């Protein structure tokens, strides 16, 4: 009987060792050998050329256009020094820079401070308007570039907003900037629109609602989408465009290179505010801009 008890105790001890040993072994295997350091691998973060929050605070966004009289003396001298280069580069586009009366305005782009931008116009009447933009580097690093927009009322090649040459010039300009700070994503988009011939104005935040049922936002707010693979998609409605607001969409890769730009009429809808029963009849509300198909391209 004693032998049976001793045998039972021995079997129980063996079973305990068999069960506990893998746990100890597993614990030992999870610990690194002495003297070896394990470096944690950080999770992969999608590259973002315009980190969220890079936009300046406020509601409305627009660019300043200065007449020659409003320009600084430094910028006037820079324009005068660049005129020969501008003339040379307009020849291939047959812009007739030496003919007729050209006027220009400076486009103040805070997102690209190391360049001066000018928008040249020659207006010979209805149907005979020529326009091009010029980019002049301030620090001498880079080259004078022109972006043809219209020649005597007609778009050259393809419309400037979606033209591959406009996109290429814009990417070269941004490379020449050698930016040391995070760029404002919305101002970057507005600068591109201005170089393509627009005088853009958009809304970053919707209007605040109040007690009046007739208060509606004037336009769809500008937005930036960040795809899971990285990069950025910027969308905004230019409410100052004539004869109707235009929707801009710009797609950037993770390094900030502009890959594609589209420009199409913003969809318009009419909203009505329904008055309570017994009150005045419903009133017509000003039209609001709604992007019904943001993926549509021109």
Q: What number of residues does the chain have?
A: 298
What's this model's pTM, rounded to 2 decimal places?
0.74
Confidence bin at 22 (pLDDT 50/70/90): very low
Beta bridge partners of 148: 132
Of 139, 86, 80, 148, the closest CA to residue 112 belongs to 139
Q: Which residues of 3-28 are buried (b: 16+ CB within 10 A; e: fewer)?
A: eeeeeeeeeeeeeeeeeeeeeeeeee
Q: Are 247 and 234 in contact (CB under 8 A)?
A: no
Q: State the pLDDT at residue 126.
A: 80
Please write the tens of the pLDDT for every residue from 100-112. Answer: 789 999 999 999 9
In the predicted model, is pLDDT for residue 199 greater than 60?
yes
Which 8-state DSSP code applies to residue 211?
S
- Of 9 and 241, more confident: 241
- Of 134 and 208, more confident: 134
Please write the tens of the pLDDT for every residue from 142-181. Answer: 999 999 998 877 777 789 999 999 999 999 999 999 888 8
What angle, 0 to 180 degrees and rounded to 10, lies between the N-to-C axes of helices 164-177 and 185-195? 130
């Amino acid at each position: 009987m004693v032998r049976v008890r001793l045998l039972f105790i021995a079997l129980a001890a063996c079973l305990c060792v068999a069960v506990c040993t893998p746990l100890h072994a597993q614990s030992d295997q999870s610990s690194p050998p002495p003297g070896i350091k394990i470096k944690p691998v950080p999770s992969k973060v999608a590259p973002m050329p315009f980190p969220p929050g890079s936009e300046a605070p406020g509601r409305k966004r627009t660019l300043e256009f200065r007449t020659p009289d409003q320009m600084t003396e430094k910028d006037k001298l820079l324009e005068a020094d660049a005129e020969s280069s501008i003339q040379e580069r307009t020849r291939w586009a047959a812009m007739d820079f030496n003919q007729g009366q050209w006027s220009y305005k400076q486009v103040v782009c805070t997102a690209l401070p190391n360049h001066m931008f000018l928008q040249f116009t020659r207006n010979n009447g209805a149907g005979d308007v020529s326009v091009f933009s010029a980019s002049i580097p301030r620090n001498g690093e880079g080259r004078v570039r022109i972006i043809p927009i219209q020649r005597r009322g007609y778009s050259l090649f393809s419309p400037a907003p979606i033209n591959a040459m406009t996109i290429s010039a814009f990417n070269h300009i941004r490379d020449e900037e050698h930016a040391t700070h995070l760029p404002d994503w919305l101002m970057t988009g507005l600068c591109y629109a201005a170089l393509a011939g627009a005088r853009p104005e958009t809304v970053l935040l919707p209007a605040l609602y109040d007690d009046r049922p007739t208060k509606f936002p004037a336009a769809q707010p500008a937005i930036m989408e960040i795809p899971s693979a990285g990069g950025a998609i910027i969308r905004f409605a230019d409410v100052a465009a004539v004869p109707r607001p235009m929707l801009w969409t710009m797609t950037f890769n993770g390094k900030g290179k502009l890959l594609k730009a589209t420009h199409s009429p913003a969809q318009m809808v009419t909203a009505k505010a329904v008055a309570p029963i017994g009150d005045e009849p419903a009133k017509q509300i000003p039209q609001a801009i709604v992007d019904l198909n943001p993926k549509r391209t021109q």
